[in-house]
Structure 1
Amino acid sequence: MAAPDYRYRGSTPAGLSHTERVVHRLTTLRDRIDGGMDRREFLRTLVSGGYAIGMAKLLGVDDFLAAEDGDVPIVTALARENPDDPWSIRERTKYVPAEWYAAVKKAFEVNRRLARVAFTGYLGSAVIPGDYESKTATVSIGVSSEGHSVGEMLSEVAEGIDIDVKTIIEIDDIHNHGGYSEPRFANTITNGHVPSGVACETNTSLATLGPALYDPDGERTFFVTAEHAFGETESHDPLGRSLVLPRQDDDAVELGSVAHYHPTEDVAVVEPESWIEPASLIDAPSKPRVRGQFTKLGLADLVARGEELEKVGALSGHTTGKVQGVDAVTCFTDSFCRRGQLRWGGEMDLTDGDSGSVSYHRDPNGETHDVLVAGFNNARTWWPGQSYVWGVGAYRLTETHGYHF
């Protein structure tokens, strides 16, 4: 017997406000509950439809959140059904405590408001989910010496959310790490595919090659690395500039040229133009295979469970570290703020030449060597009192440009 289809298919009266439309549709859902929809199916419909828990309370359905184990479904990842087919990507879900989910969602909203207001002295912020037992979330805020009153300013909008304010000083100069490491060259190319985590070169610098980046628009596959590796040009436009794969024992190979670039995310997308193709593989001893990527809530779930991320850079090689902040905003280095950032590990987990690598974690539902990408590494801290790697979350690239790993 086929499972019942509880998706909303009725018409919504014209002329209603957004809130009235949501209430109308939730009322219809309530009717379906009375008709036999169980609690889990109700919550699945509620969350997948984008309804806030607060809106559910308007109709008295919070008893469903408090009943039984109090769990709600979240989308944790976008992963391939067929590991060899990048276009078979689907949503992965799991159940988490409703109170934890509500706290994390509220922290995301507080963080979004901070970025929008960008008060004097604001240098950045990030959401730090608590564990599942605590059912809490913290917003960590970096301010200059002018930003001390931020706690009072947030007292109303951040009710129930912990606020951690840190004053950041002396961030004008980027300090390079000392010493020199031999780059990791792509000495093994299998069936014309090169793995990520190896060195790539522009006409100005060396960076790390990321795993294959996919664009569903036209089902195209690209190489990817850090945009800042192409340096500054008179037009500040790296379009058409070449990306080269250096090899220790052979001549270098030109991989292709920049087809798209995204300065805010610090990502350069390179169209393949040689016999070498991008691959969803990472050059590490365990031979990780990228099977998809984490969502924003999937990263929050990793924090709640105390999980670590991994990365392979062309200079520093393989390192691991815990997630320190999700959906972060970074305003340290430019005249604009970078949103959707991921903070993890420590500053020694990234060095010059590692930009373009990805952070990743084992796919809990995949095969032994399958991993999911967390974020794209761009930089590290260089100011006193904080230590982490930062870069754009993979989910942000999907939200803003449609790409996925």
Structure 2
Amino acid sequence: MAGVTRGDGEADAEATGTDDAGPAMRRRRLLRTGVNLGASAALVAGFGADYVSSRDLDTITYAMVRPDPGSPELEPRTKEVPAAWHESLRIAFEAKERLIQAGAESLVGAFVVPGSHDGPAASLSVDATEENVSDALADPSDGVDLSVNLLEGVPPQPDADSDRADAYQLPSLSSGRVPGGVVCETDAGHGTLTPALYGESGSPFFGTSNHVFGEGGTMTTEHRGEPLAVLVDGDPHVVGTVARGYPTADLVRVAPTDGFEPRSAIQRASPRRVVGQYTRLGLADLMARGEKLTKVGSYSDRTTGSIEGIDGVTCYTGRSCKTGQLKWGGQGDVVDGDSGSVNYHVDPENPDGGVLVGGLNNARTWWPGADFSWGTAAHHLLDEHGLHF
């Protein structure tokens, strides 16, 4: 991606939080409110969804769902949303891309922040080390509010600190079927299994954050063949070996071995079954309606938080920036060892039948003045790598 790649692919090291407060980060708000928003964006800003007629509704695909639990095939789910809200998102997505393509070295993170269905319009939330990052959107016709958090650099990450004795372990492996949300172990550390992932073959595979494999997980194939184990009564049981990593998504693909089978389920979630995933617009719609995401990590169990931004780019850690990022909750929602867990929301058309995944949980903030968790959105895995839940 032009403008943001700062080295060969690698994975984020897992972040830990801090309660320290200090002047390391200053917040500035820079507003660039366009005068040429057009009828749709003006409707969002001024009139609200209560005044939108059926002629002013758009149909969006909000989720991709597997209609049958045993099928890897996906079918689209659609709904109607205010056309003006939809148009304001389009404008914000395009403005974010222009900001990224400008290639400002000071850009550290950028997320689209959808408005509610009755206003205001979508905006951009940006982390940068220099205020002039906003120059990339200097044209008033952009029509996008830009909120800039000015950082005086991002401090080094603290060392991870987790004890596997504190993690949730499977009570048994007798069935050979392994759900997500349980602790997994590599030679380099611990993480959390995703629910079953699917690729072009249609066969399920295991997954977790690529950085759980340490330095070996910073490239695509360097850790190919390395074992991934789950714990039962403190004993590791190898359930698969690495097929490949996706460093810019911080995901590793693990092929099952010895008859073990990944399940489309999240241990201790309610309901447990994973039936699909949200699209980019589906996440925007959830945020517009104030709906929250939940995650089950092997160390911190279940937490719930609000969506803070979508379709993001992050350059907080590592040698390359990561696109397709989802920001949600607080830094306490993801702790050491939770990396690889997923965030999710109940299926709105069948709340008792399953959940839809929002994305991976790969990291959390550790610097003063910031309080969120983030990771690669599920829609980005599908769009860029052909992988889905």
Q: TM-score, normalised by structure 1?
A: 0.79
Aligned length: 339
Show the counterpart of 2:89: 104
Task: Indicate if the aligned counterparts of 1:77 and 1:93 stay in contact, CA closer than 8 A.
Answer: yes
Are 1:255 and 2:246 matched, yes or no?
no
Change over 3 Å in CA distance of 1:100–1:285 after alignment to 2: closer
1:80 pairs, out of 46, 66, 85, with 66
Q: Which structure 2 residues correspond to residues 344-355 of structure 1 after superposition, within 5 A?
A: 344-355=328-339
Are 1:389 and 2:373 matched, yes or no?
yes
Show the counterpart of 2:345: 361
User: C-alpha distance in 1, partners of 2:349/2:233?
Assistant: 37
User: C-alpha distance in 2, partners of 1:80/1:233?
Assistant: 33
Which secondary structure does the structure 2 equivalent of 1:232 belong to? helix
Show the counterpart of 2:195: 211
Please, what is the CA RMSD of the aligned residues? 2.4
Which secondary structure does the structure 1 equivalent of 2:276 belong to? strand
Task: Indicate if the aligned counterparts of 1:110 and 1:158 stay in contact, CA closer than 8 A.
Answer: no
Show the counterpart of 1:117: 102
1:260 is displaced (CA, Å) by 1.6
User: C-alpha distance in 2, partners of 1:323/1:189?
Assistant: 35
Change over 3 Å in CA distance of 1:234–1:135 after alignment to 2: closer
Change over 3 Å in CA distance of 1:157–1:78 after alignment to 2: farther
Change over 3 Å in CA distance of 1:157–1:319 after alignment to 2: same
User: C-alpha distance in 2, partners of 1:356/1:340?
Assistant: 16
Show the counterpart of 1:140: 125
**1:290-322 deviations in whole A, cap 9, x for unaligned?**
000000000000110011000011111110001
1:82 is displaced (CA, Å) by 1.8
Task: Indicate if the aligned counterparts of 2:211 and 2:218 stay in contact, CA closer than 8 A.
Answer: no
Show the counterpart of 2:44: none
Task: Indicate if the aligned counterparts of 2:217 and 2:245 stay in contact, CA closer than 8 A.
Answer: no
Show the counterpart of 1:20: none
Are 1:340 and 2:324 matched, yes or no?
yes
User: C-alpha distance in 2, partners of 1:352/1:282?
Assistant: 19
Q: Which runs of 5+ in 2 are unaligned?
A: 1-37, 41-51
Q: Which runs of 5+ in 1 are unaligned?
A: 1-53, 57-65
Are 1:91 and 2:83 matched, yes or no?
no
Change over 3 Å in CA distance of 1:230–1:101 after alignment to 2: same
1:161 is displaced (CA, Å) by 1.3
Are 1:191 and 2:191 matched, yes or no?
no
Q: Which structure 2 residues correspond to residues 303-322 of structure 1 after superposition, within 5 A?
A: 303-322=287-306
Show the counterpart of 1:271: 255
Task: Indicate if the aligned counterparts of 1:168 and 1:384 stay in contact, CA closer than 8 A.
Answer: no
1:208 is displaced (CA, Å) by 0.4
1:67 is displaced (CA, Å) by 5.9
2:207 pairs, out of 191, 212, 224, with 224
Task: Indicate if the aligned counterparts of 1:355 and 1:379 stay in contact, CA closer than 8 A.
Answer: yes
Are 1:161 and 2:147 matched, yes or no?
no
**1:55-86 deviations in whole A, cap 9, x for unaligned?**
x9xxxxxxxxx864510011100001223322
Q: Structure 1 runs of 4+ off > 6 angstroms?
A: none
User: C-alpha distance in 2, partners of 1:316/1:92?
Assistant: 32
**1:256-283 deviations in whole A, cap 9, x for unaligned?**
1101211110110000002321001111
Show the counterpart of 1:71: 57
1:159 is displaced (CA, Å) by 2.5
AA at the equivalent of 2:348? P
Task: Indicate if the aligned counterparts of 1:121 and 1:143 stay in contact, CA closer than 8 A.
Answer: yes
1:243 is displaced (CA, Å) by 0.3
Are 1:174 and 2:189 matched, yes or no?
no
Show the counterpart of 2:133: 150
- Aligned-residue sequence identity (percent) comes to 40
Higher RCO (C-alpha 8 Å, min separation 6) = 2
AA at the equivalent of 1:226? S
